Amino acid sequence: MAERHFKYVILGGGVAAGYAAREFAKLGLNPGELAIISKEAVAPYERPALSKGYLFPQGAARLPGFYVCVGSGGERLLPEWYTEKGIELILGTEIVKADLGSKSLISTSGEIFKYDTLIISTGSTVVKLSDFGVQGADAKNIFYLREIEDADNLYAAIQAKKDGKAVIVGGGYIGLELGAALKVNNLDVTMVYPEPWCMPRLFTAGIAAFYEGYYANKGIKIVKGTVAVGFDSDTNGEVTAVRLKDGRVLEADIVVVGVGGRPLISLFKGQLEEEKGGIKTDSFFRTSIPDVYAVGDVATFPLKLFGEQRRVEHVDHARKSAEQAVKAIRSAEQDAPIEEYDYLPYFYSRAFDLSWQFYGDNDGDTVLFGDNDPTSTSPKFGTYWIKDGKVVGVFLEHGTPEENSLIAKVARLQPAVQDIQQLEKQGLAFASDI
């Protein structure tokens, strides 16, 4: 079996891998020292584009347009960039065994990759309805969105089923963004989710009411409080209907499922310490084994601002944790100090002509402010989360770049709140005064 050795190996070819590669190049890298091993066939790209611009009927996002690091305003790293920097992209290669004791990774074809330092950036995989034994869940035209190949398949189905019926299973990030994308493609869209409102992990009832009303005004039907228990298909094996637990049956030409993800850490089971569903790391993303780092979705790290270990699934953290790990690796080699990772949780979304941002923690009492009428011609509203008398989180829809910077500052500083009713009246002005 062929064996190759690299000083540094990044396992996983997603967003984190691209940002880690850029940081290595920035800090100085000799040709041949770094390899990125990825199951995907393309160089690292900005994954959020898949649920946003990739499915647009006109002016759709396509590579090379969204290779990393364009998502954070940086230079776009084309495949040639890696060659110029002497970084080896080992694409279309799945690792099936990791032996951290011997510092070895083994691929499906039996190739062995040895490393001195490993960065685990394997990200998450989608949760599939077939995992729960849902009847007919393997029918054609039932889609999950994680990789560019998934987006290509979904795009092809949208073209083939023009003006057809689409059912979105799930009311989270993927559900809301793809619901909008399919509607823009003129499909008849129905969203189904079991929770009392959409995005329950982040949204309050007051926030969700706006988006549900807005989507309804766009012609999207919403079915809450029930789940898909089966799918019907035709003689070609293509999905024709979604059967719900409450007895309803929804016609469907396309089904998109977005019911969550789980971190890809099975390769390392029993080898690394785990916590809260991820690989436990310190503030430098070092794991329980020397010379092994974990970043992005797979890392459970100390969230300094809130004094607890937490796992964060978001592109912003994937980018920043990757950069922090590389800085830590290089500083350890040079015996130089480095600051601890001090992350401010950040989430955002864009759909239709809407755009929201959230910073901090969605814990405690809430204050809704502004115009959250879904029929408004210029809606603009937000929410503060107050815990132990302090603002710990802020959400804002339709904020300007300056206003979004303000709410980030508030979430970071956690100012005291004396009067909740006064805070509601002040609204965004409270942030401006900080």
Give pLDDT tens digits for 258-302.
999 999 999 999 999 999 999 999 999 999 999 999 999 999 999
For range 228-246, the mean pLDDT: 98
Residue ranges of the domains in the chain?
A: 3-125+262-333, 138-259, 353-433
Residue 310 CB neighbours (<10 A): 18
Q: What's the pLDDT tens digit per position in 366-393?
A: 999 999 999 999 999 999 999 999 999 9
Write down the architecture of domain 353-433 according to CATH: 2-Layer Sandwich (3.30)
Residues in the chain: 434
Write down the architecture of domain 3-125+262-333 according to CATH: 3-Layer(bba) Sandwich (3.50)
In the prediction, which pLDDT does 2 show? 78
Residues 16 and 314: their CA atoms lie apart, in Å, by 11
| Identical fold, 3-125+262-333 and 353-433 | no
Which amino acid is it at 145?
L
Global pTM?
0.96
Output phi, psi for 60, to 5 deg: -65, 145
b/e burial code for range 165-201 (CB count within 10 A of at least 16 → b)? bbbbbbbbbbbbbbbbbbbbbebbbbbbbbeebbbee
Burial of 270 (0-12, 13-18, 19+ CB in 10 A): exposed
In the prediction, which pLDDT does 158 show? 97
Which CATH topology does 138-259 take? FAD/NAD(P)-binding domain (3.50.50)
In the prediction, which pLDDT does 1 show? 66
Which three-class secondary structure state does DSSP give residue 314? coil
pLDDT band with cut points at 50, 70 and 90 for residue 434: confident
Is 18:45 a contact under the CB 8 Å cutoff?
Answer: yes
Q: What's the pLDDT tens digit per position in 165-198?
A: 999 999 999 999 999 999 999 999 999 999 999 9
Is 311:297 a contact under the CB 8 Å cutoff?
Answer: yes
Partners of 195 in beta bridges: none
346-351 sheet: strands from edge to edge: 346-351, 354-360, 390-397, 380-387, 365-371
Whether pLDDT at 23 is above 70: yes
For range 110-120, the mean pLDDT: 98
Residues 103 and 17: their CA atoms lie apart, in Å, by 19
> Where do the DSSP E strands lie in 179-260?
188-193, 221-224, 228-233, 239-244, 249-251, 254-257
